[in-house]
Amino acid sequence: MNAPAPPPEPALTRWKLLLEYDGRPFVGWQRQDNGRSVQQTLEEAIAKFSGEIVTTFAAGRTDAGVHAFGQVVHFDLARTAGPETVRNAVNYHLRPLPVAVLTAEAVAEEFHARLSASGRRYLYRIVNRPAPLTLDAGRAWQVARRLDAAAMHEAAQHLVGHHDFTSFRASLCQAKSPVKTLDRLDVARYGEEIQITAEARSFLHHQVRNMVGTLERVGAGKWPVYRVAKALAACNRSAAGPTAPADGLYFVEARYDPRPAVPGPPASP
């Protein structure tokens, strides 16, 4: 007698989450042996809600202490539930750690939070005042010396475009090539706060923080504007400025190009 056929595997739903988190309690996004990560925290919350062990994938691997306004994550789940149920249940199990699911939506199985992203945007916040930080402690870089934001913006434009960013790459960076295309690097002052916005398809490890540390040297009057171009051309990490603290860096958003529409039948004349 033939053995009965095994039951079919349950259909999986691919979920896309939009996350906000304060990076201070974590060793970064990715699971590590030296402490709690955002990834571990999220996967444990999903397991408590669903009873399933899942692997989550993020649009950007933020470092220890780096925050997120709009981190995008995907995972596959067998349990059937609506978007609000997924969002609210996962948030319940994330407490009291500072991670929140802002939105949850079911997406096509071809979607991948990292590989499908066509662009990423980061924000770096500098609070430019001599008084210590209270509300923004751990959430911005405090620089007491008055910075020239206009000079920083002018210097930043030397970095925009398709370049070898070896001078702004961490020594442990695992990217296959140091060549990247930086689409935008803007510096603007809003009262005591200086905001630096960086946009690109992808970034090297510590690239944004190394660019910010270099621009701070310009803003402080320690470097002339043209020295940033020389640092870029040197293709040597020692030619650029220091690495800015993780405190001020935020993953703002990942951009996904809309899927092309399936052509329909020709319209009737």
Which residues are marked as active site? 63
Reduce the DSSP state of residue 60 to 3 states and report it: coil
How far is 225 from 212, CA to CA, in rounded Å?
A: 14
Determine contact, residues 181/200, Cβ cutoff 8 Å: yes
Angle between helices 38-50 and 83-94 (to 10 degrees): 120
Determine contact, residues 159/185, Cβ cutoff 8 Å: yes
Give me the torsion for CA of 33, 36, 40, 45, rounded to 10°: 150
Structure-token pair, residue 128 = 């430019």
In degrees and rounded to multiples of 5, residue 266 shows phi and psi of -60, 145
Q: Strand pairing partners for 120? A: 200, 254
Reduce the DSSP state of residue 189 to 3 states and report it: strand
Contacts of 122 (CB under 8 A, 6+ apart): 197, 198, 199, 203, 208, 249, 250, 251, 252
The alpha carbon of 96 is separated from its chain's Cα centroid by a whole number of angstroms, namely 22
Task: Name the helix (H) or strand (E) containing 50.
Answer: helix 38-50
> Quick one: 157 exposed, middle or buried, by C-beta within 10 A (0-12, 13-18, 19+)?
middle
